Amino acid sequence: MYPEQFKLLFEPELLKEIEDIARIQEVRANDIILNIGQTVKSMPIIISGSLRVTRISEEGKEILLYYVYANESCAMTFTCCMEQQASEIRAIAEEDSILLNIPVSVMDKWIVKYPTWKNFVMSTMRFRFNELLRTIDQIAFQKLDERLIHYLKEKSKVSGSTVLNVSHEQVALDLATSRVVISRLLKKMENDEQILLYRTQIKLLNKFFEF
């Protein structure tokens, strides 16, 4: 039912409660799990696969905030599901994934009842907060080429592959910039022999990963 790692994380009574209450949800790549404005009625923990969490500007531009990997949860859900607030973010399945949904109703109780649950919640929050700070740094201070490198590395980590099947257009959307700019930056990197470019495919070479 739940992944093996949970047994080390949570006490037996909590595991039993999880088994009783949580329900499994399977999603396909690119399914929207949570959209902006929706209220959160359950907290998803990723069992396998990964999610991308994005934010949309008034003009409809979507910018990538961070990825959520297996055994992690989305910190935003904690903050808004406690108060039944509308979501500020959008969560999309990056690949086919399996989620474990914990209903909001039990979360409060568990925090009081189970120290290990409180720890889990707190550490995901801390982890996410730090990651968000890094994202802010990137957007505020880093140049686009550095953001692009970071993006490609992250993509490669998600897919576990050095071949990324993504169009320049999609990269541009994720980084909230224009396709032309991305094409030019990627071309530079190709000339630098860091990557190889094909149609809707980017191959990362060894040189790319050097330092």
Partner DNA sequence: ACATTAAGTGATT
Partner DNA sequence: AATCACTTAATGT
Q: Where does this chain bind DNA (CB under 7 A)? A: 143-145, 167-169, 177-181, 183-187, 190, 197, 199-201
Nearer to DNA, 5 or 165 (CB): 165
Least gap, CB of 80 to DNA (angstroms):
29
Least gap, CB of 185 to DNA (angstroms):
7
Q: What is the dihedral of CA 52, 54, 59, 61, to 10 degrees?
A: -40
- Distance, in Å, from the CA atom of 167 to the CA atom of 170, rounded to the nearest integer, reads 5
Nearer to DNA, 4 or 57 (CB): 57
Q: Find out whether 95 and 158 touch, Cβ atoms under 8 Å.
A: yes
SS3 content of the chain, % helix, strand, coil (to 5): 45, 25, 30
Number of H helices, E strands in the chain: 9, 10
Least gap, CB of 208 to DNA (angstroms):
16
Nearer to DNA, 39 or 200 (CB): 200
Least gap, CB of 187 to DNA (angstroms):
5
Sheet-wide strand order for 23-27 = 23-27, 97-103, 42-48
Nearer to DNA, 47 or 189 (CB): 189
- Kindly give, in sequence order, each residue whose CB lies less than 8 Å from that of residue 182, ignoring residues fewer than 6 positions away: 148, 168, 171, 172, 175
Least gap, CB of 177 to DNA (angstroms):
4
Count CB neighbours of 42 within 10 A.
Answer: 20
Nearer to DNA, 54 or 124 (CB): 54
